[in-house]
Amino acid sequence: MEHASGAPASPGLGNTALESDDGDQPKEACGVIGVYAPGRAAAPLITDGLHALQHRGQESAGLAVKDGSTITVVKDMGLVTDVLDQRTIGCLEGDLGIGHTRYSTTGSSVWENAQPSFRSVPGADFAQAHNGNLTNTMELAAEVGASSHGASNDSDLISELLARELINDAAESPSLESALLQVLPKLEGAFSLVLMDREALIGVRDPNGFRPLCLGRYSDGWVLASETAALDTIGARFIREIVPGEMIVISPGGPPRSLHPFQPERIDPKLCIFEFVYMSRPDSYLHGREVHGARMRMGAKLALKVPVEADMVMGVPESGIPAAEGYAKASGIPYGNGLVKNRYIGRTFIAPNQDARERNVRRKLNVLRDQVRGKRLVVVEDSVVRGTTTRFLAKMLREAGATEVHLRVVLPQVQWPCFYGIDIGSRKELIAAKHTTDEIREILGVDTLAYLSVQDLRDAIELPDTGFCDACMTNNYPTAIGLRPEKNMLEQAV
């Protein structure tokens, strides 16, 4: 049985995916968490964990909890605070559940695509939450007949495949674990999953490990989460990362079991390098490295590789700040705060003209005039993908009295689409795919512009033996992606 809160989005939205105008930063796909907490209500723990993962998606939030023989799903459009309030989660008493916070890359930003997804199969109900983006959705949609089943995104396709496998095995006591072993090898692309049925909590990481997933210990229970920061928030102890290609099964009465459903030749660890630059919280750990420290080293690399004379170093909130601190320390130029970010402004969307776009930027960022007036500034940004925010930011700084604006960017020039869960869907959107560095400098209105190289970025992370995906900068895609369909390829298929 499923209970879902909220209502579908208004018909006026249809199937039109709203495009973000949140600035130059790319957007992540989702954050996921799973909790097994014997003797305790899982819902409050899941909700606290989702608060720690809110930065990974702000479109929708939800959870699924098992209470006896029932799986209850609560999901809706909006932030975690709006969807999972105390009154809603206070009546959910099950000790096993999963949660999700979403930013869409495949499928529209509408209620129907909020997660967790749920399927009712006789004797084998289950719920699933997905972080990532599949690259073979057209083939999978054809296999399950997505138009007749109502699947509207790649996460739904995974659920449909699992449901069909469970139905086909109905005569043989079907289990979610056995269905996953059959379905997972068919999936291509990026997928970190948490799933649950009435008996178990399951985590899966794709053979490349594009998206992070870790395991934590909570009292005498267990937690799966996209980032270690979520473990810290609920008081769980980090145990280890789920390795690429691993499926971990957590059942009552025993320790987690590790299974490996993919062929060995498919295992090729390629964590998305964006996780270190922008996506993950600075207090999270990836491959044993704290993200904040890596970002400081990136800024220090910028200072050493592309120095400039200036009076103050400032970062663009939030993820540009640690790199700015590193730049200031390495260069000897004083660090200062030049911008204030309005933390209560949610996502904004593509505005019809330049004036409206500029107003969107001014709603989110305001200049500390006394800090920047009369100064030569080094502005450190994590990335410049589309250039939307940065051109207005430079204008705002000059209006406030800055005499020079020198832009330093941690992420190398992004020139290619991402098909693994980052909202970079077309080369025509990417400023570096169409312009030289000097042309970009003129477009952005800055005095000088410089980026880290891919090698410098890797060196700053200090994990020389670890594989990373940097395809959006190098065009070296870790997997076969066929015709490189756009992020809405599933909508086209159905």
- Positions annotated as catalytic residues are 30
Residue 227: cis peptide before it, omega within 30 degrees of 0: no
369: how many CB neighbours lie within 10 A of its CB? 14
CA 121/CA 180 separation, integer angstroms: 15
Three-state SS string across the chain, please? Answer: CCCCCCCCCCHHHCCCCCCECCCCCCCCCEEEEEEECCCCCHHHHHHHHHHHCHHHCCCEEEEEEEECCEEEEEEEECCHHHHCCHHHHCCCCCCEEEEEEECCCCCCCCHHHCCCEEECCCCCCEEEEEEEEECCHHHHHHHHCHHHHCCCCHHHHHHHHHHHHHHHCHHHCCCHHHHHHHHHHHCCEEEEEEEECCCCEEEEECCCCCCCCEEEEECCEEEEECCHHHHHHCCCEEEEECCCCCEEEECCCCCCEEECCCCHHHCCCCEECHHHHHHCCCCCEECCEEHHHHHHHHHHHHHHHCCCCCCEEEECCCCHHHHHHHHHHHHCCCECCCEEECCCCCCCECCCCHHHHHHHHHHHEEECHHHHCCCEEEEEECCCCCCHHHHHHHHHHHHCCCCEEEEEECCCCCCCCCCCCCCCCCHHHCHHHHCCHHHHHHHHCCCEEEECCHHHHHHHHCCCCCCEECHHHHCCCCCCCCCCCCCCHHHHHC
